[in-house]
Structure 1
């Protein structure tokens, strides 16, 4: 592989994609030069200021306003506001010469071949030989862009198709041309995976590549099934959402978000540019979509699509849905389905697919009418769009948010058993005849009954060329708990599995609902520490769920509090605190590897680890005030300890305390792992960030081994935590009062805030004093229990349990 450092990147074009790609490169520490065109006319406001077309502020207006728009979007494209300074802006006329100093040029201008070719012609004047140059097109054939370019340009050029939004959707399609040097392709695949955190899929230069070819086929297939199955917009989105392992936005809501015009453009492009595609009739639009485009009902961008949000006279709003027969908007109808009810209790997506397929109502009919032709379609795209079918699954999971790709679903339903069903499916889609590709029959004849299999913890795929199984390239050094759980579990209970990761490191995996922490998880963590101290070298705490942990099981707390079983509750909170302390003060290194939601107790466990190996997308926070309590698993104690470490003699120490107090008091949740550091949840030199979620567990294991190899020494509990006593309480009470007077918080919020401050100041002490961790833990627990006895706290917990959001009473 080529030896190349990417220090500077130029992004040409600052539209929706360009500005967000620039932000994502800034996220990983790269300097970015973001350029766009010079405006041709002045805005009235610019004229009023006496500016001209030659003024720098005018010349850079388009690029600066695009970047500003991107930075205002929610969720944000940037990990931390401080990273914005890594992006320099400019324009093609004044600053294109600066691309001579970059390592990679990414073109993201308008989707027109002539425009792209003219940009590349100008790029050639300044680009230094050996610089990577790629195009972020979603549909224009990559090879056409290199016409008239130099040999060095062609050698270093390929397509890099990011999916929007680039920070959050992991798919990156890499599309080489016949001229692209193999080492260039290898480098981009490696950099995309390790540095950008992407699921990188190598594609052939075919219409719409892989993700959009299969994704748009799948969405349009549903639109052709609406009439024969008599489906409404609500039914389709209910049936094709999370129950099916697809995102919440399902089918029609996704079309509204993406924009119907975008969907139609890709569909029209496929209808024209893929004449050999047997199912090209699927890309021809049904009448209702044609009519919607004529009406300019393009989705969110025009405020009308398959859904429309309307405001009533009383200020309330309602989301109406489109009647696909009459094309009128009306109130949404409740969707009922026996099949969906049957799938609800089935957590495991693989088992759920079987339940779904076997149903007898409309939902199951749609499932079969969607999937059987899809299996036929994807099998026949190999080797047209890729030589390796697993890349289709990778693209659909990473680009469209499917939990399982089409071949994975087919495996679950049984490859051989499904063949007759595919042939017999009555709801045929245009151009499809129920015949799968011949290589699938050859696979079965060769005695290979599935597309994938697990061997020695490694996932393998059926290789068509050799008619045998091979390890999926690039996955050899990943650790996937699903692949080793069966053979490597050394202990388990209802909420936890302890799994041997090899090399003397074990992992404690939670698998409760939302990975909440109750008695079973506490027991499992303590067992994992016992085992690690006796027989192993280190412990990792992580899992393969959608979220690391949503925090303590508040349902359990609610039951004990309602029954006023305070002895039991006291024991439960003490066990929680003791577990946090054991994570810190065990004789082996403990590495916690959080990702996505890491709230309450999940955050407290992370804060007590020897090291935190966090995924970049970690949303961490102590959110207990939202349910009327304070952090009770050691979180309040820990923030007090950290404030004490930051006190400096020559500064007003109350300000340090105030910052820490407000982070808990306002239940601040980080929007990235970097922000978790800025908020004080992660500590300098005690955390590292993994960009690619698939690599998190392997990175955490490597860190645990490193700590063990360095000769890990068990730390001693702290007795030197400086608390401010009454000197600090004054600022807490004044702050809470002013927040109440400004109507930012309720009376009860003030009460909880004052109790939180009381703990963080060490209680009623006449002067600053040094106390122990145990002293603070006892205060924390006492206060937690007092709040659990309050009616308003119980109301908050009950509201959270039933409504899933906080109550401000």
Structure 2
């Protein structure tokens, strides 16, 4: 088959999913046509304006309102507000002929087979042969939807199931129809991975496919267990959240957000269409769920579900919780378990599971029942819904936000222990698990030569998981390719002359050990390698400097030691900037404070699209002290052009720091100046980030990398800029927009970014600015209000305005 390119996509249906899918295609630079039905009657606003049903504004009202609502939602479905210009809207009567221009048509209309078939009949009249056409159905059999369509339509038709919200959830299920061509399936799976940044999973055409079949089972299992074990809503959410690598919203809060009606719809579909499921009875709604449905307590959309937000007489709000026995709302009850206390010192989630299932309290019993039921269920879904355990794990991680899939958790607690849990809940595993054990194979996964292998039940041996050539998994190479390690970092050989330095501290904070590790990594790379990547595959790149260490030094008034620590941070950043080898930073997730400063000093940044980046030091009462204030001054200077108002350019960089701006995506980070256009790059699929960063380091090294020369040509504006900033902070304080301490911090930053109180614009060196930055940082650490801010952040994780 010739190369297929996607330049224009038509999305049919502009509801929450349709608009979200349209936005994500716009995110990656594709032109999108978004269509929906024509309204059948005027609304009050249209009547008041004297419009008719023939006016374009009326005919496109539904699609335009849906898209506008999506773009206003939080979190945003779009990487950058300007990307919305890539979406054109229309309606299914006036504009359906425009689908002939599309390379891929995606149907996202209401989940009714009769309506979908009508839509496909209309689309086929205008679709050009060879155009991909897919449905985002979450459960209607693909085979039913393409009945009666032409051979070309059926060959290019399948299911492509995005999960909501499409920007953030990575699962992309590809479900073949009876006549779908193999090359079409391969193209869609590859496109999902490479361009959309998804985890593509090939599913079979079975009810609810993979993600929802297992995910809804897991939730329904909990619904039944909560009553059997006499547990509260809070207790279940405590046990099924971050402690086991699941989202903070855990179980019941997630159901509230998604909508109980949505969950019930899928559960009923599985119950009606899977009569042979060995746990068929579990998909019958428990009494309390049926009561909630009858009362329309559907969650956030109806104002109440398992939780309900109410306004108290004093005007404050309170979150109430549904008591599942009385079915009345009550005040929240804090949940706590001895078993969870035992896991507090275990940072790696995967290492907690043996402790959790061994618990002697109600939590331990809950985990044994939950995992026993889950382990049994997933074994019986092979080969019904998929042929491979890793596809189930991938679906749960990418679609439901689980850090580890069922088979990975089972490996963590051991095959025999998992079988014991299955037996304890009166279940039995599928026969292939017994055969696996008899063959002496005791884990579902294995690692060989840096590749992940997964047990193949049909072949009865391990098989390499396909598609790994495009990415590097640090967990797989850490043991065999470690070059250096300390308590803060591990340095690995990525091959081809490129090293990687990976933070291993809590939340990837940057303290003494991490700085020592960075210096050692540069030493090693300069001696025996060609380049260095600073990257990891944790949830976040780095939340910044170790403020606990700074707090202790400041409280003890060990100012000499604190000054040395600040200088060590600055010197390490400058060492990265002026090493003899290219240094590539690979930030993702939260990249705050010191993590952002590190990225500012790399030769190039290869950022994941989902990078939330900013200099947030104001929140703890200081200015960026690891070279960040210096670097923003330098970057402002580099933007000065002849006849520009240089003060305006400097002010933008000043405000980015003073307002502690954090980007909502890597693309937005370019607006704040923490990423640089023409130099730094963005990758949509985070799994490919380390491999991409390595490729850039290798290319720079092989292209003749030259060690940079320290800068002494940074233009600072002196008293002219300082005066402008001081007037500005006075006005902000007078208007009560900032506190007295905010003003003090801002004035310290102003002094640094103005280059001091020089009488006229001058050219200075980086060393000069770093000294100003260090003095300002240290002086702020002597302030009581700064210590209060740091202490509050350490205790609550939230900034204090004092």
TM superposition score category, shorter chain reference:
over 0.9
Q: Distance in 2 between matches of 1:472 and 1:206?
A: 23
Aligned twin of 1:47 = 47
1:247-286 alignment to 2 at 5 Å?
247-286=247-286
Aligned twin of 2:631 = 638
1:437-493 CA distance string (max 9 Å, x none): 111111112222111111121110111222111110112332111111111111111
Aligned twin of 2:611 = 618
- Structure 1 residue aligned with 2:751, among 732, 754, 758? 758
1:533-557 CA distance string (max 9 Å, x none): 0010100001121100000111111
CA contact (8 A) 2:8 2:103 kept: yes
Aligned twin of 2:672 = 679
Q: Distance in 1 between matches of 2:571 and 2:722?
A: 27
Aligned twin of 1:329 = 329
For structure 1, the 5+ residue unaligned runs are: 426-432
Tell me if 1:202 matches 2:215: no
The Cα of 1:755 is off from its aligned counterpart by 1.2
Aligned twin of 1:358 = 358
CA contact (8 A) 2:369 2:421 kept: no
Q: Distance in 1 between matches of 2:99 and 2:470?
A: 36
- Corresponding residue SS for 2:3: coil
Aligned twin of 1:28 = 28
- Give the superposed CA RMSD: 1.0
Aligned twin of 1:773 = 766
CA contact (8 A) 2:303 2:309 kept: yes
Q: Distance in 1 between matches of 2:347 and 2:620?
A: 27
1:351-389 CA distance string (max 9 Å, x none): 200000100111111101111111111101100001112
After superposition, the Cα gap between the structure-2 partners of 1:60 and 1:108, relative to the gap in structure 1 and judged at 3 Å, is same
Q: Distance in 2 between matches of 1:290 and 1:424?
A: 29
Q: Distance in 2 between matches of 1:634 and 1:101?
A: 50
Q: Distance in 2 between matches of 1:684 and 1:68?
A: 28
Q: Distance in 1 between matches of 2:165 and 2:225?
A: 29
Q: Distance in 1 between matches of 2:551 and 2:561?
A: 12
Q: Distance in 1 between matches of 2:110 and 2:32?
A: 20
CA contact (8 A) 2:241 2:249 kept: yes
Q: Distance in 2 between matches of 1:489 and 1:91?
A: 57
1:706-734 CA distance string (max 9 Å, x none): 11110111010011100000111121112
- Corresponding residue SS for 1:34: strand
Aligned twin of 2:622 = 629
- Corresponding residue SS for 1:161: strand
1:262-282 CA distance string (max 9 Å, x none): 111111111100111111101
Tell me if 1:670 matches 2:663: yes
Which shifted more, 222-231 or 734-743? 734-743
Q: Distance in 2 between matches of 1:446 and 1:685?
A: 55
Tell me if 1:60 matches 2:53: no
Aligned twin of 2:105 = 105
CA contact (8 A) 2:534 2:584 kept: yes
The Cα of 1:67 is off from its aligned counterpart by 0.5
Aligned residues: 802
Aligned twin of 1:551 = 544
- Structure 2 residue aligned with 1:525, among 518, 530, 549? 518
CA contact (8 A) 2:371 2:421 kept: no
CA contact (8 A) 1:17 1:108 kept: yes
Tell me if 1:290 matches 2:261: no
Tell me if 1:579 matches 2:553: no
1:105-146 CA distance string (max 9 Å, x none): 000011100111101111011111111101001011111110
TM-score between the two structures when normalised by the length of structure 1:
0.98
The Cα of 1:568 is off from its aligned counterpart by 0.6
CA contact (8 A) 1:2 1:184 kept: no
Q: Distance in 2 between matches of 1:619 and 1:5?
A: 30
The Cα of 1:350 is off from its aligned counterpart by 2.1
Q: Distance in 1 between matches of 2:134 and 2:93?
A: 20
Aligned twin of 1:566 = 559
Aligned twin of 2:175 = 175
Q: Distance in 2 between matches of 1:121 and 1:418?
A: 49
- Structure 2 residue aligned with 1:462, among 430, 455, 458? 455
1:40-79 CA distance string (max 9 Å, x none): 1111111111111111111111001000100111110000
1:704-783 alignment to 2 at 5 Å?
704-783=697-776
- Corresponding residue SS for 1:479: coil
The Cα of 1:649 is off from its aligned counterpart by 2.0
CA contact (8 A) 1:2 1:183 kept: no
CA contact (8 A) 1:2 1:187 kept: no
1:149-198 CA distance string (max 9 Å, x none): 11111111110110000000111111011211100000000000010000
Tell me if 1:233 matches 2:233: yes
- Corresponding residue SS for 1:476: helix
The Cα of 1:334 is off from its aligned counterpart by 1.8
Tell me if 1:498 matches 2:491: yes
Which shifted more, 339-348 or 208-217? 339-348
Q: Distance in 1 between matches of 2:765 and 2:362?
A: 63
Q: Distance in 1 between matches of 2:436 and 2:743?
A: 67
- Corresponding residue SS for 1:90: strand
For structure 2, the 5+ residue unaligned runs are: none
Which shifted more, 94-103 or 441-450? 441-450
